[in-house]
Amino acid sequence: MAYQIDQSNKIEQTNKDTVLALSNSIQCSVKITSKTKRQAQEMFRMNGESRVFVFKTFAAGIYLLLKNSNIKQGKIIIDIEYPGRDKQIKLHVENMLSENEKNKIEITFKPIGKSSPAHNLAYKVSTGKNSADKIISLKEIRDCFRSKTKSRGV
């Protein structure tokens, strides 16, 4: 069975915390606080990337959720949060994955629905009934977009 990922409170809602939750045989959730989202928005704006703030931050959240849940392989179904942007988001996530992970993780986008365990977990964390497994920092978001190439000692 595939892992499902859902979001509670969209990235662009910078007055609310965003929760990303993953569910299957394991459950895991990460939270991006409203403060961190506003800081990330400013960081992207200062880099001339204000138009991609939402998609890159969402992709970083997905990557950090996968990393925190220790998923190394399998099919990942992400709820369609930003119609028409699936390819862009997938590309950002895949750029963050190692070469080995890229070959073992299959990312697709499909509607998840409100009965999904991932939706239920995201909702419970966003309403404070459950705690997030991890709070994502601005540094972690920034580090997702640093070059993955290694220095050649030059």
* pLDDT value, residue 30: 98
Residue 131 Cα to chain centre, angstroms = 17
* pLDDT tens-digit series, residues 114-124: 999 999 999 99
Note the pTM of the prediction, 2 decimals. 0.91
Q: Which of 7-21, 90-104, 126-140 has the lowest mean pLDDT?
A: 90-104
Range of the domain at 101: 3-141
Beta strands 3-8; 18-23: pairing state = antiparallel
pLDDT digits 0-9 by tens, 45-57: 999 999 999 999 9
Let me know the angle formed at the C-alpha of 60 by 32 and 45, rounded to the nearest 5 degrees. Answer: 80
| CATH number for the domain that contains residue 107 | 3.30.420
Position 149 scores a pLDDT of: 44
pLDDT at 148 (0 to 100): 53
Could you give phi then psi for residue 121, rounded to 5 degrees? -65, -45
In a domain, 91, yes or no: yes
Tell me how many domains the chain contains.
1
- Asked if residue 136 belongs to a domain, the reply is yes
